[in-house]
A = this chain, B = another copy of it.
Amino acid sequence: MAGNIFGKLFSITTYGESHGIAMGVVIDGCPAGVKIDIKDIQHELRRRRPGQSNIVTQRKEEDNVEIQSGIFKGVTTGTPISLLIRNQDQKSRDYDHIKDKFRPSHADFTYHAKYGIRDYRGGGRSSARETVARVAAGAIAKRLLEEWGISVHAYVNQVGHLTLKRDIRTLGYEHIEQNIVRCPDPELAKEMISFIKEVRKEGDTVGGMISCIVEGVPPGLGEPVFDKLHADLGKAMFSINAVKGVEFGSGFHSITMKGSQHNDQFINRDDKITTTTNHSGGIQGGISNGMPITCNIAFKPVATLMQDQTSLDTGGQEVTVTGKGRHDPCVVPRAVPIVEAMAALVVADHLLRSRSNKVR
């Protein structure tokens, strides 16, 4: 398989290039009987949409989804669900000036090396536009998870040096969508927005971090030994454009901890086995333990700058790459729904996989 299929039982295949006719996804393995309203999908696409605010790319895309199969009278039938989002902006630009150039830290050179041919228009298949298909599929996965009482929330907790200090449990999820940077602390959000605008003015970009929490996952999801729940979640996150680091629970901080500090003590709360702390991030031995699954994802600064850069062309000659076009100065505000989608897809897959654990 050439890497465009994801998931074992709840599996998705995405297709489409940034400036082709359409982006799409086929979901194979969604169980029958899930109620789907097209508005659920559209809602998620709007959260990812370009042009949604003045700190993201101004590319013009409505991102209206078309359901082509698999849903009959508002309910999934168990057959493949095909979702299609047409590209509207695909003919508006001339990409001839970069067709033979390798943009720094883009996938131009690596695609060229791999295939010997590439669709150079807007990055082609390597463009983050591909994630629109994931978000559409993730909306279906979220609906399935809802039927099982599982919820997924992500938010921005860092932009450049600006770091969220307050606890999301105190702040509340309801604040995430109340500002354009998707940081649940309203004060910090303002600072982040100003900082992103400043960076953009310099023709530069900056990195950021997203946190993701999955709640309501029953104990027992995740397969030993390779398909540990966080291993599959980790892969999912690393497959998102610009992600350079992922950590679960105590993460990199655990390096300096002692076992006596790190171990999560089991307690019996109202006849339910739970833990007093959650350094494990909801996963022990690769399997969910019923506590919230917590994850941080580091995004590098976007590679497209509004500055001139020296680079090479396909012939190995030095060239100048000029900053043009409409791009995100910081990827994290729009990446929040993408992170949620990938988390939902993985948990949905493992929810189905866990059905085969016992003889009956």
Q: Using a CB-CB cutoff of 8 Å, which residues 181-232 of chain A contact chain B? A: 199, 204-209, 218-220, 222-228, 230-232
Contact present for A284 and B105 (CB under 8 Å): yes
Contact present for B147 and A359 (CB under 8 Å): yes
Q: Which residues of B contact A126 (CB under 8 A)?
A: 224-225, 285-286
A335 within 8 A of B: no
Contact present for A24 and B301 (CB under 8 Å): no
Q: Which residues of B contact A238 (CB under 8 A)?
A: 228, 230-231, 234-235, 246, 248
A65 within 8 A of B: no
A244 within 8 A of B: yes
Q: Using a CB-CB cutoff of 8 Å, which residues 17-45 of chain A contact chain B? A: 17, 20-22, 24, 26, 28-29, 31-34
Contact present for B3 and A227 (CB under 8 Å): yes
Q: In the assembled complex, how far is the CB of residue A102 from the closest CB belonging to chain B, in whole angstroms?
A: 5
Contact A68-B20, Cβ < 8 Å, known A32-B115, A117-B75, A206-B258: yes
Q: Using a CB-CB cutoff of 8 Å, which residues 232-273 of chain A contact chain B? A: 232, 234-239, 241, 244-252, 254-268, 271, 273
A150 within 8 A of B: no
A110 within 8 A of B: yes
Contact present for A77 and B124 (CB under 8 Å): yes
Bound Cα distance A194, B115 (Å)? 51
Contact present for B22 and A280 (CB under 8 Å): no
Bound Cα distance A181, B124 (Å)? 44
Q: Which residues of B contact A252 (CB under 8 A)?
A: 209, 244-245, 247, 252, 298
Contact present for B33 and A13 (CB under 8 Å): no
Q: In the assembled complex, how far is the CB of residue A74 from the closest CB belonging to chain B, in whole angstroms?
A: 11
Bound Cα distance A6, B300 (Å)? 29
A178 within 8 A of B: no
Q: Which residues of B contact A4 (CB under 8 A)?
A: 26, 28, 79-80, 223-226
Contact A72-B250, Cβ < 8 Å, known A259-B206, A300-B262, A300-B279: no
Pick from A49-57, A165-173, A303-311 the stretch touching chain B: A303-311
- A122-137 near B? 1/0 per residue, CB < 8 Å: 0011100010000000
Q: In the assembled complex, how far is the CB of residue A351 from the closest CB belonging to chain B, in whole angstroms?
A: 9
A64 within 8 A of B: no
Contact present for B5 and A226 (CB under 8 Å): yes
Contact present for A205 and B318 (CB under 8 Å): no
Q: Which residues of B contact A254 (CB under 8 A)?
A: 207, 244-245, 298-301
Contact present for A26 and B13 (CB under 8 Å): yes
Q: Which of B66, B239, B258, B312 contacts A205 (CB 8 A)?
A: B258
Q: Which residues of B contact A226 (CB under 8 A)?
A: 3-6, 235-236, 239
Additional 5 contacts, C-beta under 8 A, given A31-B357, A244-B252: A2-B11, A5-B226, A16-B68, A238-B248, A255-B299
Query: Could you jot down 16 A-B contacts, CB within 8 Å?
Result: A5-B13, A13-B28, A13-B80, A15-B82, A72-B118, A78-B358, A125-B225, A205-B258, A206-B259, A226-B236, A234-B234, A244-B251, A245-B248, A257-B301, A352-B356, A355-B356
